[in-house]
Amino acid sequence: MHKVAIVGRPNVGKSSLFNRLVGRREAVVADFPGVTRDAKEGLMMYQNHRIILIDTGGLWSGDEWEQAIREKAEWAMEGAQSVIFLTDPREGLTTADYEVADWLRKLGKPVIVAANKIDSPKHETYLAELWGLGFGDPVALSAEHARGLDDLLDRVMLHLPADTEDVPDIAPIRISFIGRPNVGKSSLLNALTGSERVIVADQPGTTRDSVDVEWDYAGQRFVLVDTAGIRKRPDTSIEEYAIERSKTAIERSDVIWLVVNADEIGDHELKLANLAYDSGKPVIVVVNKWDLVPDEELKRTERELSEKLHHISYAPRVYTSAINEYGIHDMLAEAMKLYEKWQSRVPTSELNRWLGIWTMKQRVPNFHGKPLRMYFMTQVETAPPTFAVFCNRAEFVTRAYEGFLMNRIREDLGMAGVPVRLKWKEKGPYKRGKGGDDDAEDAPAPRKASRAAKS
């Protein structure tokens, strides 16, 4: 697979061009510099070629992130076969542009100079100055208006080798890190992949956008997603947008790692867990910085964690330390196990055998002498496992009885830790509007809530 990197000084439109080329709004875009810090990857297709496009942070920014951003850009350069050097000629070449040009010459990669924000032919007079960068004829384009993109990609294709790669048939497992700022999500990702793939700093809010990292382990492909820390109350509009991107990452993921600190768990973590669980994705609680808990405090801390996390007691728990890599492989093993359960399917005959056992274990709800009758049960969906129970009256089902059935499905059918959904469907002579023994006036008023249960 080919790799192409987009580089340039801050605020020339790199993320806008990245979004335009990959065909979706993957990277955060704002009118002020410094939004992008990590190197962000996205897959695009052009002339039957699969290209990994890499968006990098603004180089020679002159702020505290300058060195870290340059290191991540250099990482992106290692596998890149071509580099798009994006400029904004309408502002004129700056010292930072010349610094970037000198840096690219030392790397020895094929470079295409692209002039962004050239919205019409009359603006092409600005291109003359770009010849002074020493990379030949610049390409005029406008990322905002999708102008000149084919010309740019045709130039890029001149530097790419023949595409002889076989596209793998196995889809990758997408796993996202979520949590409040500064709990160690980026450190865990780096420890897991054995690289310094994303920027790590002591201050919260370092990661500003979701970063996808493709990774192969033991023959299995993964996409690990580092998300921005989710605060209760975002301080800026860019944080608000980053939070929305984190929520999108949850929706697109197969498994969620909820990263928490042992001494910093509250309602915010429960809200994040419910957000992930309501999306139908398996959640694993990753208790990071476990090495900082004194030995004599371990048991007490575990008890406190169980009390604080009682609301999400269904979620498996892994204790880790990104510093010494303790528990790192347990994270991955638990995720793969839950992913397999999440996609599992139970035969209808086995389900109904268990349904008979469950009805003997727990008395079914009874309203005004009218009992709930469950005729049969079948699995209608996977990922998450969703079961339809055909019964006489759906409104006879209590939340407590739903919870009992969900717990039995998890424990007896080997789906512990996996979100389960139940759908109640009326069937038979007691179905509403069909008459029969269950008169309408004997039944309680129908619930306003949906009968599609989530857990």
Query: What is d(CA 189, CA 226) in angstroms, rounded to the nearest whole number?
Result: 7
Beta strands in 273-355 (DSSP E): 283-288, 317-319
Q: Which two tokens stand for residue 125?
A: 């007079």
Q: Identify the weakest region by mean pLDDT among 202-206, 248-252, 276-280, 421-425.
A: 202-206
What residues does 225 pair with on adjacent strands?
176, 212
Rounded to whole angstroms, how far apart are CA atoms 434 and 353? 29
Task: Kindly report, residue by residue over 92-140, the tens digit of the pLDDT.
Answer: 899 999 999 998 998 889 999 999 999 888 888 889 999 989 999 999 9
pLDDT at 171: 77
- Same fold flag, 2-157 and 173-342: yes
DSSP assignments along 82-151, one per residue? EEEEEE-GGG---HHHHHHHHHHHHHT--EEEEE----SGGGGGGGGGGGGGSS-SPEE-BTTTTBSHHH
- Fold adopted by 2-157: Rossmann fold (3.40.50)
Burial of 27 (0-12, 13-18, 19+ CB in 10 A): buried
The DSSP line for 207-242 is --S-EEEEEEETTEEEEEEE-----SS-SSHHHHHH
Predicted pLDDT at 180: 84
As annotated, the binding site for GTP includes 8-15, 55-59, 116-119, 179-186, 226-230, 288-291
Structure tokens at 416: 């512990």
Q: How many CB atoms lie within 10 A of CB 293?
A: 18
Percentage of the chain beyond pLDDT 90 is 43
Angle between helices 95-107 and 66-78 (to 10 degrees): 40
pLDDT band at 447 (very low <50, low <70, confident <90, very high): very low
Residues in contact with 167: Cβ distance below 8 Å, sequence separation at least 6, in sequence order: 50
**Domain residue spans of the chain:** 2-157, 173-342, 348-454
Please give the annotated binding residues, written as ranges.
Answer: 8-15, 55-59, 116-119, 179-186, 226-230, 288-291
The amino acid present at 300, given as its one-letter code, is R
Residue 276 has pLDDT above 90, yes or no: no
Quote the pTM value.
Answer: 0.70
Assigned architecture for domain 348-454: 2-Layer Sandwich (3.30)
310 vs 308: CA distance, rounded Å: 6
* Structure confidence by residue, pLDDT tens digits, 156-181: 999 887 765 555 556 789 999 998 88
Q: What is the CATH number of domain 173-342?
A: 3.40.50.300
